[in-house]
DNA sequence: ACTTGACTTAGAGTAACTCTAAGGTCATAA
DNA sequence: TTATGACCTTAGAGTTACTCTAAGTCAAGT
């Protein structure tokens, strides 16, 4: 059993965000104790994990809500859920490619600046100089 | 020479965003023609590329502005710029790891749902069932 | 001359947090 | 026994970074 704060720490998500997601209906099975405090079970953490994953790939909250509702509906929605996950996986793959490109640009620039520093060079002769 | 629209298309960034970035001072060397239209040169595109890269890695606009200002200042800021790029590269690397984890979760879920569909299974017996 | 279309600006609207304020509950310490 | 502090709760304000809209300028085409 975890409180919001503990979930936030365990899942590395801001506490406020967990509450915001909870209010958005992303964790429909979380129970409360007699003091109205949310008690996340291990199975609820699975929902947090998926939501974090979908958000991390840039799925918007409205679409996440749709997915959550399909989950609640049960077995009849498995094909639909499969399609969503498949598309999301493809999106993630594209992002990995994009991120890799950006990483390579940063890598290049780091080396470039490093050379300049090592050689105590000015930067003014080179078309790359400005940025 | 490119207009905002052409830059947006070429660099795959929303036109509005290019204008927003321009207004934020991210492209200090872009000239205008006699009709007040921005004319991006090839060298200005390099700035767009870097800004897109930094944003893509989640650097906030205030920090990007700082980096831009260092670039404008010239050679004396090379070491500072190097440090920023280095940190950003490290950040990108972390994100690649994170994204890879998320991809693997999606991959697992896709396979799981796929099995369910193939076997025409119900999902109710499994602890993974709900989400 | 008039329309079309590309550009401009200021400013409104939006998504997704992120934080603050005000308040309830409970344990421990004076 | 009161109070101090560490939790939790909520509603709602504030923030970031777009994203879009409206209103206007200008040049070219019919």
**pLDDT digit string, tens, across residues B47-88:** 999 999 999 999 999 999 999 999 999 899 999 999 999 999
Q: Does A120 touch chain B (CB under 8 A)?
A: no
What distance in Å separates the CA atoms of residue B59 and residue B16, rounded to the nearest whole number? 19
**pLDDT digit string, tens, across residues A8-19:** 999 999 999 999
Residue A47, Cβ density class (10 Å: 0-12 exposed, 13-18 middle, ≥19 buried): buried
pLDDT of residue B122: 62
Structure tokens at B4: 């905002």
Closest nucleotide to residue A18 (Cα to C1')? C17
Q: Does B58 touch chain A (CB under 8 A)?
A: no
For the CA of B4 and the C1' of C11, the distance in angstroms is 20
> B75 contacts in A (CB within 8 Å)?
122-124
Instruction: Give me the residue from B75, B89, B130 closest to A103, CB to CB.
Output: B89
Mean pLDDT, chain B, as a whole number?
A: 92
Please give the full DSSP string across B26-76, using - where no structure is assigned. S-TT-EE-TTS-EEB-HHHHHHHHHHHHHHHTT--HHHHHHHHHHHHH-GG
Query: Does the nearest atom of strand C lie within 7 Å of B6's Cβ?
Result: yes
Averaged pLDDT, B102-118: 95
pLDDT bracket for residue B127 (50, 70, 90): very low
For the CA of B30 and the C1' of C7, the distance in angstroms is 15
Provide the CATH number for the domain formed by A4-73 in this structure.
1.10.1660.10
pLDDT of residue A127: 47
Residues 6+ apart with CB under 8 A from A120: none
Looking at CATH, the fold of the domain delimited by B4-92 is given as Multidrug-efflux Transporter Regulator; Chain: A; Domain 2 (1.10.1660)
For the CA of B16 and the C1' of C13, the distance in angstroms is 14
**pLDDT digit string, tens, across residues A13-61:** 999 999 999 999 999 999 999 999 999 999 999 999 999 999 999 999 9
What distance in Å separates the CA atoms of residue A67 and residue B131, rounded to the nearest whole number? 9
SS3 of residue A39 by DSSP: strand
Residue A83 gets which letter from DSSP? H
Q: How big is the CA angle at A59 (ends A58 and A63), to the nearest 5 degrees?
A: 165
> B30 contacts in A (CB within 8 Å)?
none
Query: Does the nearest atom of strand C lie within 7 Å of A65's Cβ?
Result: no
Q: Per DSSP, what are the bridge partners of residue A39?
A: A31
Residue with tokens 């909870």: A22
Structure tokens at A69: 């509702």
The pTM assigned to this predicted structure is 0.91
Domain parsing of chain A, residue ranges: 4-73
Nearest to B27, CA basis, from B16, B15, B19: B19
What distance in Å separates the CA atoms of residue A46 and residue A44, rounded to the nearest whole number? 5
């Amino acid at each position: 059993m975890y409180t919001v704060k503990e979930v936030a720490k365990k899942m590395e998500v801001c506490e406020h965000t967990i509450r915001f997601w909870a209010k958005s209906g992303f964790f429909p099975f979380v129970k409360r104790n007699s003091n109205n405090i949310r008690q996340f079970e291990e199975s609820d953490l699975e929902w947090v994990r998926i939501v974090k994953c979908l958000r991390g790939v840039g799925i918007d909250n409205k679409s996440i809500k749709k997915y959550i509702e399909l989950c609640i509906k049960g077995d009849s929605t498995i094909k639909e859920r499969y399609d969503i996950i498949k598309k999301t996986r493809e999106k993630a793959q594209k992002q990995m490619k994009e991120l890799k490109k950006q990483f390579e640009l940063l890598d290049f620039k780091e080396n470039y600046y490093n050379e300049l520093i090592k050689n105590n060079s000015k930067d003014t002769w080179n078309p790359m100089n400005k940025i």
